[in-house]
A and B are shown apart, each in its own frame.
Chain A
């Protein structure tokens, strides 16, 4: 089981309650962004591009707790920025744990080892460490040599101290499925509870605008990665969302499934798109024109999106929305498949890496064109 039974039970009863109340739109995970500043400056990430006075601002613990209560989800994810740079992060996490919220604190883990003593292990707290692949891939993606080693050290220290540790890997064009599979082996060997993997989004603030995976390529990549999977791999994504990535399911976006709250307020409509802000969760739900988002809407910004923040909640909703969905999901949990697939095996064997080791093999100094420089991943 990729998550503790108590967590699965809490989420299931929460969703059933929403269904019984007849709520058509309900949130599942709050994405709480208490600050935007970061101790990395990844070339693939546009999240930290704000003026200094914005990067210096942060939510107070009280503002965080108010948002969590307004929204009411059983799970709270804390992305950023780098949450460990927030001086009151231990207080924020402790307050959420006291409220019995399942917290996923997303971190690049550069500070994890040194700040670990400020947190207490709990079934409600998981460090979700962003590791974008094997050493060279991760270091390239975060634009920092040695970043991977520090993150892995942080993971091992947190596991040794008794914390729940999960990981998050985002893939962009140029990702090598064989390398990603080796990366999964390394993470499981380091003792992580479970892993998440997701395609990057064509984020219009990302400094690199040339390497976004299209849907066709995403599906092929995820089919190669997630088919014929090892029994030792544990994922903390909904099994039907993983099938969606592999091209075996089709889900429309549920942009309200993972609402985002930051110093600007409640972000319309989702974690990725910024189309304005609401001052309360209720205002967000009532004033957002939800029909303008998702692939079906024709909005070009949503056309390519397959990310978990928009589509995993759809898988969960399908799971609880009909007997068919419930039975399908129950089967996936009771008899987990390794997704045997000879075609995917062939894909893997024939996959030509765009670059085996990006940092050492990029020949920028002696004439390689920019077109050949393909980042493997990013935020």
Chain B
């Protein structure tokens, strides 16, 4: 679930118009989070950073207060009343298990993996399409990325 900040274009539009009357609805504003290392000084900052990590489409690296690290895809977060009741769920890079990390145990989080959603706009595709067309290429396509 995107944060209010990420959804703000849509929210702004809906403040003035009824969704039923809208011809075209706004999308969301994307944040560039790749490489981000948030400060986790307050409970609110911790919650906000983990909400963004949940929304992020790359891997993150969490350092626990005991010094141990877990790197992987953060696919879920359960937000409780306190940081001790709240935890994130991660699928580590090298293994298929699901690891839980309690918010209160987190010393640092870094958005270390590549943002797999970045730069893949229609505009980028159309630009590339025309470059290839001009170069005389046939059967132009976007190939899915290699996974190995």
Interface: A274 (CB within 8 A): yes
Determine whether the beta carbon of A44 is less than 8 Å from that of B7.
no
Determine whether the beta carbon of A276 is less than 8 Å from that of B27.
no
- Is chain A's interface secondary structure helix, strand, loop, or mixed overall? loop
Determine whether the beta carbon of A216 is less than 8 Å from that of B10.
no
Interface-side segment among B38-46, B61-69, B124-132 = B124-132
Number of interface residues of B (CB under 8 A): 60
Residues 211-237 (chain A) with a chain B CB within 8 angstroms: 211-217
User: How far is the CB of B35 from the nearest CB of chain A, in Å?
Assistant: 15
Q: Which single member of A43, A52, A362 contacts B120 (CB below 8 Å)?
A: A43
Determine whether the beta carbon of A55 is less than 8 Å from that of B27.
no
Determine whether the beta carbon of B23 is less than 8 Å from that of A214.
yes
**Per-residue interface assignment for chain B, residues 15 to 32, with 1 indicating a CB less than 8 Å from any chain A CB and 0 otherwise:** 000011111111110100
Asked whether A300 and B7 contact (CB < 8 A) given A41-B143, A51-B73, A53-B93, the answer is: yes
Number of interface residues of A (CB under 8 A): 60
- Please name all residues of chain B whose beta carbon is closer than 8 Å to the beta carbon of A57 when the two chains form the complex: 91, 96
- Please name all residues of chain B whose beta carbon is closer than 8 Å to the beta carbon of A50 when the two chains form the complex: 57, 73, 116
- Please name all residues of chain B whose beta carbon is closer than 8 Å to the beta carbon of A185 when the two chains form the complex: none
Q: Which single member of B25, B139, B147 contacts A37 (CB below 8 Å)?
A: B147
Q: Which single member of A39, A147, A214, A364 contacts B129 (CB below 8 Å)?
A: A364
Determine whether the beta carbon of B116 is less than 8 Å from that of A51.
yes
Interface: B11 (CB within 8 A): yes
User: How far is the CB of A218 from the nearest CB of chain B, in Å?
Assistant: 9
- Please name all residues of chain A whose beta carbon is closer than 8 Å to the beta carbon of B27 when the two chains form the complex: 202, 204, 206, 208-210, 212
Interface: A275 (CB within 8 A): yes
Residues 300-358 (chain A) with a chain B CB within 8 angstroms: 300-301, 303-304
Determine whether the beta carbon of B19 is less than 8 Å from that of A295.
yes
Determine whether the beta carbon of B120 is less than 8 Å from that of A38.
no
Determine whether the beta carbon of A209 is less than 8 Å from that of B30.
yes
Interface: A17 (CB within 8 A): no
Interface: A273 (CB within 8 A): yes
Interface: A146 (CB within 8 A): yes
- Please name all residues of chain A whose beta carbon is closer than 8 Å to the beta carbon of B139 when the two chains form the complex: 145-146
Asked whether A275 and B1 contact (CB < 8 A) given A51-B59, A52-B147, the answer is: yes
**Per-residue interface assignment for chain A, residues 154 to 189, with 1 indicating a CB less than 8 Å from any chain B CB and 0 otherwise:** 000000000000000000010000000000000000
Among the interface residues A41, A210, A264, A303, which one has the most CB atoms of the partner chain B within 10 A? A303
Determine whether the beta carbon of A51 is less than 8 Å from that of B78.
no
Determine whether the beta carbon of B58 is less than 8 Å from that of A373.
no
CA of A292 to CA of B57, assembled, Å? 24
What is the chain A residue whose CB lies nearest that of B6? A204
- Please name all residues of chain B whose beta carbon is closer than 8 Å to the beta carbon of A275 when the two chains form the complex: 1
User: How far is the CB of B126 from the nearest CB of chain A, in Å?
Assistant: 5
Determine whether the beta carbon of A208 is less than 8 Å from that of B23.
no
Determine whether the beta carbon of B73 is less than 8 Å from that of A54.
yes
- Please name all residues of chain A whose beta carbon is closer than 8 Å to the beta carbon of B23 when the two chains form the complex: 214, 216-217
What is the chain A residue whose CB lies nearest that of B96? A57
- Please name all residues of chain B whose beta carbon is closer than 8 Å to the beta carbon of A359 when the two chains form the complex: 129
- Please name all residues of chain A whose beta carbon is closer than 8 Å to the beta carbon of B81 when the two chains form the complex: none
Asked whether A53 and B73 contact (CB < 8 A) given A143-B125, A202-B27, A204-B28, the answer is: yes
List 6 extra interface pairs beyond A46-B117, A51-B57, A365-B134, CB under 8 A.
Answer: A41-B145, A43-B125, A50-B73, A214-B22, A265-B76, A276-B76
| Chain B residues within 8 Å of A, Cβ to Cβ | 1-2, 6-7, 10-11, 14, 19-28, 30, 54, 57-59, 72-73, 75-78, 89, 91, 93-94, 96, 113-114, 116-117, 120-127, 129-131, 133-134, 138-145, 147-148
